[in-house]
Chain A
Amino acid sequence: MNLKKTALVLLAVILASSLLIAGCTNEEKVLEKEGEVLENKEKTPETITVTDQEGREVTVPKEINRIVALGGPALRDVAILGAADKLVGTDLQSTSGNYFCVQAYPQIMDLPIVGTFNEPNIEAILELQPDLVLVSAAYTNADDVQGPTGIPTVALMGPQCDIRRYDDTYESLRIAGKLLGLEDRAEWLITYAEDKLNPIREITSKIPEEEKPKVYALVVHGINGTLAYAPLEWAGGYNVAKDFVISQDLWSARDIDPEKVLEWAPDVIIFGGSGGSTFADVLKAHPGLEATKAAKEGRIYQIFGPNFYHDLIQLVTETEYLAKLLHPDKFQDLDVEKEGNKMFKEVYGVDDLYNKVEEVRGLELYHWD
């Protein structure tokens, strides 16, 4: 008995000490690498300080040549500013061809992977030796990356499709612009978007609430809070889910009782998401909808939608799309598809991006021809 006990205690001690030793060795390796990074920083003494969207103050080198973008929001900001060629790594989900910016800059699909959209792999990031790491504030805490790596990490919110948070989109672009020395480009983008949105908003803001068509945003694959879809507001649609007593942030369309939708009696139903769903599929998946005025008049339309892959320019073109669908008399001369392709061309430099992404995502948007 004694021998057994002694053997077990000895085994436990050996195991425990070997774990401790292993832990110490890893730390040393990380410290070594941190030392390398610090050395690099000293060679480029010029720095700037920004306040990121987590409220942190971060000091970054003025010259940025190697960027790691974690999460779609951060990636999109880099890409839309035209700095995609400086990317050296990104997360797994951001290499998806469903993104407008990935279709515009296909080299993103071949970037080294440094983790998933909400879980970065610190070692992988360190290996790439970036000058700057951009994380998406919604998914990752910047300090979780900056702490172990010592690399300046900035948290961005990226494009926001929720109208109550839309201003964060511009703020995010401005910060990214400042970091990359592309402030002019950032301002240009903001002005560009506003110039396209303002004429529409001016017309729709004059429409009295009672005359706005009642729209139900059936964002089937939507994320919570997406019921307050900005383009819908701007396009002069009356979002029936506005009347929620309970906070809109907790629910998405799939939690809503179909009986309530019948009570709201929407004139139009828009459904977004990951595509592959037709008019008939939507009706089949949501018993009860066929009795709405929207279904009977065939006014169920697919949209790009407030999903994982939404893009700033998408929000603009979607506003035009919805405006023409909801108020055809006021936007008779608007060629949504042509304008959409034109906008993407002016921002990303790529032809037919509107059609391309529609195809890639398997969507069936409404076409007016």
Chain B
Amino acid sequence: MPTGEIKLEESYSKLIVRKVAFILIGVGGLVVLALLASTLGTYNLGVKEVAHSVAHRVFPFAGFQSTEVIDTVMWKLRLPRIILAVLSGAGLALAGAVMQGAMRNPLVSPFTVGVSAGAAFGASIAIVLGVKFIGATGTGIIIVNAFVFGLLTVLVVASLSSRKGMKPESVILAGIATNYFFSAATSALQYIATDEQLSEVVHWTFGSLGKATWENITIVTIILLLSIVPLMKYSWDLNTMAQGDEVATSLGANVGRVRGICLTLSSLIAAVIIAFTGIIGFVGLVAPHITRMLVGTDHRFLLPASCLTGAILLLAADTIGRTIVSPIIIPVGIIVSFVGVPLFIYLLLMQRRGYWS
């Protein structure tokens, strides 16, 4: 082989190795952060107590001791919360990265098609009007409403834009329309609400991880797993679509279908997460950009790496939010921007060449 080709192969392999290494370091970082987060909290627990509490459930026969209260703090409060933070961060970032790739637009997020506006509307009609779906009770009412109306917006946008051949501009414009419509509807509900209904609606929009239970986590995990597999498979298609619809089609990608499925699955992920957490912004939009600056735009690495970035970001934000003015918890939706923006600006200033496309 001529030396030029060998060099090219070598440098490409090195690049791939770097990217894989980055992902592995990311996983390691996430694990460390999770361990750290499990030892931090309002209830004063030492590392030993934390370890024992975890160990005695995981290895029941090894004779570790723990008290009921400590177990409740660890297994009912902290661990579910940490896991939900990781899942939500990963899910939103993944949804964002996929949306940006499928729409070929750096400004879209999982909420572009109106999922957040629809979900907020769903939550509002539950809180202000008591409208709910049969069978839903207690907190489930808001969750189901938010999920259903979040998905409803996707259906509206999908049907509107499929008439236009699923072009990115049509999707985004239809999304803008649904966003404004549902936002206005939500505002109208807030207008007629009582003092405390109003405060509850607003509080819901802050985005919090307070509803982290094993039941809820299972639902999110299932949906996430079901969506991740097809999305990862589309990595190559997303890579080619970056060159334009015509180029991608000539390379064998079914652009319309890929876009449609990416849209649907991203919104599904976003809807199920929002239903439980309320609106957490920033992660879906910016985590993919942060990742692109570090790993590049190859979706085979961008998608998993975005999951890591989102997870780390949200976990860090939530841990700060529940410890910084303990025992008050500042909702994670508020903190995540304060945490992420400095990082984003730093990377923006540091990067040497354009990273988009």
Contact = CB atoms under 8 A, between A and B. Distances in A.
Instruction: Output the residue of B43, B76, B139, B194 with the most chain A CB within 10 A.
Output: B194
B196 A288 contact: no
Interface in B183-206: 191-197, 199-200, 203
Contacts of B199: 223-224, 252
A287 B76 contact: yes
B212 interface: yes
A260 B43 contact: yes
A291 B327 contact: no
B349 interface: no
A117 B195 contact: yes
A7 B169 CA distance: 34
A199 to B, nearest CB: 32
Interface of A: 92-93, 96, 116-117, 139, 221-224, 246, 251-252, 254-260, 262-263, 265, 273-274, 276-278, 280-281, 284-285, 287-288, 290-291, 307-308
Interface stretch (B58-66, B67-75, B152-160, B291-299): B67-75
Contact of A260 (B137, B195, B197, B327): B327
Contact of B192 (A93, A259, A263, A278): A93
Contacts of A139: 195
B304 interface: no
A300 to B, nearest CB: 14
5 contacts: A92-B192, A116-B191, A222-B196, A256-B328, A308-B195
B148 interface: no
Nearest 5 A/B pairs, CB to CB: A281-B138, A260-B327, A291-B72, A259-B43, A259-B42
B326 A288 contact: no
B80 A291 contact: no
Contacts of A223: 195-196, 199
A288 B329 contact: no
Contacts of A273: 196
A259 B322 CA distance: 10
A75 B202 CA distance: 26
* Chain B: interface size category: 35 or more
Given A117-B195, A259-B43, A281 B139 contact: yes
B139 A288 contact: no
Nearest to B142: A285
B42 A257 contact: yes
A307 B198 CA distance: 12
Interface in B57-98: 68-69, 71-73, 76-78, 80
B200 to A, nearest CB: 6
Contact of A287 (B69, B200, B213, B329): B213
Contacts of A274: 196-197
B42 A285 contact: no
Contacts of A290: 72, 76
B43 A221 contact: no
B196 A259 contact: no
B327 A257 contact: yes
A259 B80 contact: no
B77 to A, nearest CB: 5
Contacts of A260: 42-43, 326-327
Interface in B111-158: 130, 137-139
Given A117-B195, A254-B203, A281-B138, A288 B327 contact: no
B106 interface: no
